[in-house]
Structure 1
Amino acid sequence: MEVENRDRLNSHNFLLNKWLKFLIIAVLAIGILFRFGNLDRKFYWIDETYTSLRVSGYTEAAMLKQISYQKITLPSDLQKYQQINAEKTLTDTLHSLVTEDPQHPPLYYILARFWAQWFGTSIAAMRSLAAVISLLVFPAIYWLAWELFESSAVGWMAIAIFAISPYHILFAQEARQYSLWTLTTILSSAALLRAMRPDLTQNSILLVSRWALYAVTAAMGLYTHLLFVCVAAAHAIYVAVIANWRDVKTFIAYYAAAMVALIGFMPSLVNTVENFNQVRSTTVWAEQKNLLRLVSRWVGSISIGFFDIGIDGTANVTQLALVIPVGIMIVALVGYAIYFLYRHTPKRVWLLILLIIATTALFLAVPDILKGGRRSTNPRYLVPCYVGIQLAVAYLLSAKISNNLASFQQQKLWRVVTIALFSVGIISAGISSQADSWWNKGSGWLRAELEVASTVNQARNPLMISDANIAYIMPLSYRLQPQVKLLIEPRCYTSCYKNRELARKKPEPPKIPGGFGDLFLYRPSSTLRSAIEQQNYQIDPAVGNVELNLWKITKK
C-alpha cells in the first residue's frame, strides 16, 4: 500500500513538473513577443526624446540657438537633432551628458550610440535596445536564483515572472536605461554570491576572477544609474553581516573589488557632485508634496510588478473597483512571500533579497516622509525592489507547487494562484500593447498631447506658434504630420542652469506670416498671448477644450 501511494505521488509530481514546464515556456514566449510587439506605438515622450538628443551628440543649447521665430520650422527639422550624423561623434554624446544631464551616467547612452549607428534612430530602433537588454535578464535571473536557492525550479519560475511582468515589459519598450539597471542589479548580486562561495580547490586565480567579475558588474551598475548606489550599499551590508567580521579574506576581497568599481566610477561621480544644483533643477518635479496619497501609491507600486492596466489619477469608479481588490491580493501575496522566504531559507538567502528591497525603498521613502515628495512612488526608481520582490514570489510559488508533503488540494490551490498571476500579467501586457500612452509617460498629459496632434493634423494648411518648453515640443513633433508648419522660439529645459543667456532670453514676439489656413497657439506664455492679441487676433480654445493647451487664432 505504501509503495502504491509513493508511486501515485511520483506520477503526480511528474505530471505536475511537465505541466509547469509547459506553462513557463509558454509564458516566456508570450513575454518575448510583448517586448517586441508595437515598439513604436506609444508616445515617444520627453525622456526618450532626450535620449535621442544625447545619443545624437547634440546639446539642447545648440539646438535652441538654431531654432527661432525668424524661420518656419518643420517637425522633421526638430528630429534631425535626434539623429546620428557624421558631424557628431561619441565624444559629443558624452559632452552632451556631462554638460546638460549630469544625473545620468553614460553607459546606456554609449551602448545606444553604437546601436543607433547600426540600426538607425527610428522610434522602434531606439527602443529595441532596451528590449534586447531585457532578454538578457532571463539567464541572469536564473543565475541569481541558482546562487541563492540552488534550485532550477525557482530559477525557471523567476524567469516566467520576469518575462510576463507588465513592469519589465513596459520598460523593455522604453528608450531609457531601466532594463540595463535591472540587468546590472541581478548580475552584480549573482557575481557577489558566486565570489563569496567557499573555494574548495583553493584556486586563487579562480577566486580573483570571481571578484573581478563582481567589480566589473558593480561598475557597470554605477555607470547605468545613480541609484545603483543603493544596491551597492545592500551588498556592503550583506558582506558585513554574513562574514560576521571573522572571514577576513572575504572582507578584503570584497572591499578591494568595491574600491575598484568606485574608482572606475569616480569621473562620473565627480561630475554629478560638481553639478548637484543642476541635477536638482532638472528633478525638482520629484520634490512635490503629496503625503496623503503616499501609502496608496506604495501599494499601487507593488502591484504593478504583476498587474497593471494603466490606472492613473483619471481612473473611474469601475476601474478602481477592479484594480483595488486585485492590488490588495497581490500585496498580500508579496507580503506572505517575504515572510515565507524569511521562515524557510537560511540567512544568506533571505538577507540579500530583503536588503536589495529595503535599501532602495528606504533611501527614497524616508525623505518623502520627512520632507514631502514622491520619489518613492515612482516605479522607475524602484528597479531593485522589483527584483527582490519577484524573486521572493518565485521562491514561494515553486516551493508550494513542488512540496511533496503538501496535499493535492494545497498544490492545486497554488497552481491556481500561479496561473492567475501569469494571467493578470498577460492581460496587463495585452492592454498596454494596444495603448498610445501609459502611466510611465505621464498618461494624463500625453492624452492631451495626442489630441493636440490630432487637432492640428486635421486642420487646413496649419501653422502652430509656440514659445513652450522644448521638452514639450520635441515629443509632439513625432505626432505631427509633415504638412504642419511651426513658428517657435522654445524655452530651455536641461540647458537653463548653465546657460543663463538662454534662461533669461526674451525673444521678440513673432509676426504671423500670411499664406496659412488654420493658426494655432501651443502652450503660449502670457507674453506671447499678449503679443498675438496686439496684432488684432482673437484667441479661443481649440475644439472648446482649454486643458489641451492649444488655442485657435482668428483675425478680428
Structure 2
Amino acid sequence: MSKLARSRKFWNCLSKEFKLFIIIILLVSIFFRFVNINKKYYWIDETVTSLRISGYLKEEVNRQVFTGSQISVRELARYQTINSEKNIFDTVKGLAKEEAQLPPLYFILVRLWTQLFGNSIAVTRSLSAFISLLAFPCVYWLCLELFNSPLIGVVAVMLVAVSPFQVLYAQEARMYSLWSVQILLTSAVFLRAIRLNTKFSWFFYSLSIVLGLYTHLLSILVAIAQGIYLVIIEKFRVSKKIVSYLISCFTAILLFSPWIFTILNHSSGAKAALAWLDKTAKLQENLISFVNNIFNAIIDFWFVYNYFPNLNFPNLRFGIYIKPLLLILMVYSFYFIYRKTSIKIWLFILTLTFVPPLLIVIRDINANSGSLSQARYLIPCYLGISIAIAYLFATQIKNKFRNLWQKKFWYLSTILLISFGILSCAISSQAETWSNKYGMNYYPVVRAINQCERPLLMSDRNLVLILSLSHYLDPKVKLQLLPASKISVELIDQLSRFSDIFLFQPSDNFQQTFKTQLNYKIISLKEIRELLKIEKSND
C-alpha cells in the first residue's frame, strides 16, 4: 500500500471527534502564526533584513545619514524599503560584502515578496508565516518515511504546529522558518533516497542539501548527521548508498561553491557580523542555556511575568515546575524509541537531535564562543525531540495491550502538552517582545518621543537601532545623526526650533560635549534608560 493510500485509510478510520480535534489544533496554530503579526517590536535582526531588502550597505547609510543634517523619518525609510535606486542584485551584493555568513535564498524571496505585496512590517513577516505552514506536510512525510505510521505523523504535526518556538519565528522576518522546513524536507528526502536508492532519489536529496545551504550555513551539520547515520547503518562498508550520498554531497557543494568563494573573499565582513558570538563564555553556562532553550521550544508561558510584570492573571508560575517533568518526558521518549524500534529508526532521531549541537559545542570550545546558547541555531535538535515525543505519545495511545487508565494517562499527557503549547502561543501573541528578540523593546522610547509636539532625536551611533526606531516614529519627528566631533555652535543654534530634544543611546563623549562645551543639562527619563533629554542650562 502506498503512503498516500495508507494516509487516506488512516484518516477515514479516525473518529469524528479526533478529526475535529486535529483540525482545531491546526486552525489554532495557523491563527497564532498570523494574529498580531506586526505587534512585536521590529528588532535589530529584522531591521537588517529590511536593510538588505533596500539594497543599501551599512557603510552607505552611515555615510549618507551621519552628516549632522536634520533628516525626516521618511528619508530613513528608503533604507528599509524597496526603492528605485537599488535592485535584487544589490540585495545579494550587500549580503556578500557585509554578511556573507548569511546565504541569499531567504533574502531574495523576501525582496520579491515585498515587491509584490508592500513594505509593511506585517507583509515582511508574513512570508515566514506562510513558509512555516510547509513544516506541517514535511514533518508528516518525514514520519511516514521513518515510522510508516500516519498516527505518529499527525501527532508530530500537532506538536510542531503549537511549538512556541516555531510560532515565534513564523512571525519574524528572518530565515529560520525556511530553515525548519528545509531540515524536515531534507530529512524526508534522505530517508526516501535510502529506501529507493535510485539516481533520481539521490539527485533530489542533493537538491535539498543545496536548498539548505543557500538557506543557512548550519545545514551542513544536518548533512553531516545524516552521513554519520548512513555510515553506521551500512556497517562502515563503502556501499552503493554511501557512494550515492557522497556524490550527492559533492554535487551540492559544487552548486554552493559560488557562495563559498563569496564567503572566502569577504570573510572580514562575516567575522565582524559574528563578533558578538565570540565572547568569553563558560561551557557550563552554554549548556544551561541549551537545556533551557529546549524547554522553551516546547512550552514557554513561564516568560509571562518577564514581559507582563503587572499582569493580573491566574498564577502561571507553576510553569517552572513543569521543566523537570519535561526533562523526564524527553529522556523517556528517547529511551522508549531506542527500546521499541530498530536501529534504522532510533539512530536517525538521535543523530538529528544530538549531532548538530555536539558539533556546535566543539566549535564553541575551540573558539571560546557562545553559539550553543543561541536557540535559533538548534532547530534540528528541537525537531528531533518533537518527533521522539510524538512517537511515544502515538504508540502509547494506540497500544491495544494498555489498560484503560494507562491509555487515559497518555491521552491526557498528549492533550496537556498541546494545551500548554497553545497557552504559550496565546500569551506571547499579546506581548510587544519575547525571548526570541532577547527582550528588545523600544516601544517606550518611541512613545516618549511621539507624544512631544516638535521632537528632535539625536545620536552618534547604533545605526541599526535608529533604523528600527524609524518604523514607529511619527512623521513630525526629526533626526540628527552625527559624531561628537561634528557638533558645533552653529548647529546647536538650530535646536531652538524644537519643543523637545532627545539623545538615543549617546556615547559618553557625545553627552560630555553637550554638558561641558555647550552648557546643556542631561535629564534621565524614568524607566527609559536608552533615552536622555537635554535642556539648555540656565547657569
With normalisation by structure 1, the TM-score equals 0.88
Q: 1:518 aligns with which of 487, 500, 508?
A: 500
Give the SS at the match of 1:305: helix
Question: 1:494 is matched with which residue?
Answer: none
Find the aligned partners of 1:463 and 1:379 in 2 and give their Cα distance. Answer: 37
Letter in 2 for 1:552: K
Distance 1:365 1:246, change over 3 A: closer
Give the SS at the match of 1:81: coil
The structural deviation recorded for 1:80 is: 1.3
Please tell me whether the aligned partners of residues 108 and 177 of structure 1 are also in contact (alpha carbons under 8 angstroms). Answer: yes
Question: 1:540 is matched with which residue?
Answer: 523
Question: 1:483 is matched with which residue?
Answer: 476
Please tell me whether the aligned partners of residues 466 and 487 of structure 1 are also in contact (alpha carbons under 8 angstroms). Answer: yes
The structural deviation recorded for 1:328 is: 1.9
Give the SS at the match of 1:73: strand
The structural deviation recorded for 1:509 is: 1.8
Q: 2:443 aligns with which of 450, 457, 468?
A: 450
Superposed, which structure 2 residues align to 1:148-187 within 5 Å? Answer: 148-187=146-185
Letter in 1 for 2:76: L
Which structure 1 residue ranges, 5 or more long, are not aligned? 1-13, 200-206, 491-505
Asked if 1:253 is matched to 2:244, the reply is yes
Asked if 1:208 is matched to 2:186, the reply is no
Q: 1:401 aligns with which of 397, 402, 408?
A: 397
Give the SS at the match of 2:65: coil
Asked if 1:380 is matched to 2:376, the reply is yes
After superposition, what is the alpha-carbon deviation per residue over 1:386-438, rounded to whole angstroms, capped at 9, x for unaligned? Answer: 11111111111100111111111111000110110011111100011111111
The structural deviation recorded for 1:507 is: 4.7
Distance 1:442 1:312, change over 3 A: farther
Distance 1:375 1:311, change over 3 A: farther
Please tell me whether the aligned partners of residues 312 and 439 of structure 1 are also in contact (alpha carbons under 8 angstroms). Answer: no
The structural deviation recorded for 1:369 is: 5.3
Please tell me whether the aligned partners of residues 358 and 385 of structure 1 are also in contact (alpha carbons under 8 angstroms). Answer: yes
Question: 2:4 is matched with which residue?
Answer: none
Asked if 1:270 is matched to 2:261, the reply is yes
Asked if 1:140 is matched to 2:142, the reply is no
Find the aligned partners of 2:88 and 2:530 in 1 and give their Cα distance. Answer: 37
Find the aligned partners of 2:497 and 2:130 in 1 and give their Cα distance. Answer: 47
Please tell me whether the aligned partners of residues 310 and 439 of structure 1 are also in contact (alpha carbons under 8 angstroms). Answer: no
Q: 1:300 aligns with which of 269, 281, 292?
A: 292
Find the aligned partners of 1:94 and 1:486 in 2 and give their Cα distance. Answer: 29
Give the SS at the match of 1:553: strand
**How many residues of Structure 1 are paired with residues of Structure 2 in the alignment?**
517
Find the aligned partners of 1:161 and 1:55 in 2 and give their Cα distance. Answer: 33
Give the SS at the match of 2:102: coil
The structural deviation recorded for 1:542 is: 2.0
Distance 1:85 1:537, change over 3 A: same
The structural deviation recorded for 1:274 is: 3.7
Question: 1:309 is matched with which residue?
Answer: 301
Find the aligned partners of 1:270 and 1:353 in 2 and give their Cα distance. Answer: 33
After superposition, what is the alpha-carbon deviation per residue over 1:512-545, rounded to whole angstroms, capped at 9, x for unaligned? Answer: 21211011111111221122121121112123x4
The structural deviation recorded for 1:310 is: 6.5
Letter in 1 for 2:530: N
Letter in 1 for 2:129: A
Letter in 1 for 2:499: G
Please tell me whether the aligned partners of residues 452 and 548 of structure 1 are also in contact (alpha carbons under 8 angstroms). Answer: no
Question: 1:130 is matched with which residue?
Answer: 128
Deviates more, 1:463-472 or 1:167-176: 463-472
The structural deviation recorded for 1:117 is: 1.1
After superposition, what is the alpha-carbon deviation per residue over 1:363-404, rounded to whole angstroms, capped at 9, x for unaligned? Answer: 223344566443212111111111111111111110011111
Distance 1:16 1:152, change over 3 A: closer
Find the aligned partners of 1:371 and 1:320 in 2 and give their Cα distance. Answer: 39
Give the SS at the match of 1:548: strand
Q: 1:414 aligns with which of 399, 410, 426?
A: 410
Find the aligned partners of 2:510 and 2:412 in 1 and give their Cα distance. Answer: 60
Distance 1:421 1:360, change over 3 A: same
Find the aligned partners of 2:17 and 2:335 in 1 and give their Cα distance. Answer: 27
Find the aligned partners of 2:38 and 2:452 in 1 and give their Cα distance. Answer: 25
CA RMSD of aligned residues (A): 2.3
Please tell me whether the aligned partners of residues 74 and 482 of structure 1 are also in contact (alpha carbons under 8 angstroms). Answer: yes
Asked if 1:228 is matched to 2:219, the reply is yes
Question: 1:337 is matched with which residue?
Answer: 333
The structural deviation recorded for 1:314 is: 5.5
Superposed, which structure 2 residues align to 1:349-368 within 5 Å? Answer: 349-368=345-364
Question: 1:5 is matched with which residue?
Answer: none
Find the aligned partners of 2:304 and 2:260 in 1 and give their Cα distance. Answer: 35
Please tell me whether the aligned partners of residues 98 and 273 of structure 2 are also in contact (alpha carbons under 8 angstroms). Answer: no
Asked if 1:553 is matched to 2:534, the reply is yes
Distance 1:68 1:374, change over 3 A: closer
Question: 2:6 is matched with which residue?
Answer: none
With normalisation by structure 2, the TM-score equals 0.91
Find the aligned partners of 2:394 and 2:353 in 1 and give their Cα distance. Answer: 20
Letter in 2 for 1:456: I
Question: 2:487 is matched with which residue?
Answer: 509
Distance 1:216 1:198, change over 3 A: closer
Distance 1:319 1:451, change over 3 A: farther
Asked if 1:52 is matched to 2:40, the reply is no
Question: 1:7 is matched with which residue?
Answer: none
The structural deviation recorded for 1:335 is: 1.2
Deviates more, 1:506-515 or 1:118-127: 506-515
Please tell me whether the aligned partners of residues 287 and 372 of structure 2 are also in contact (alpha carbons under 8 angstroms). Answer: no
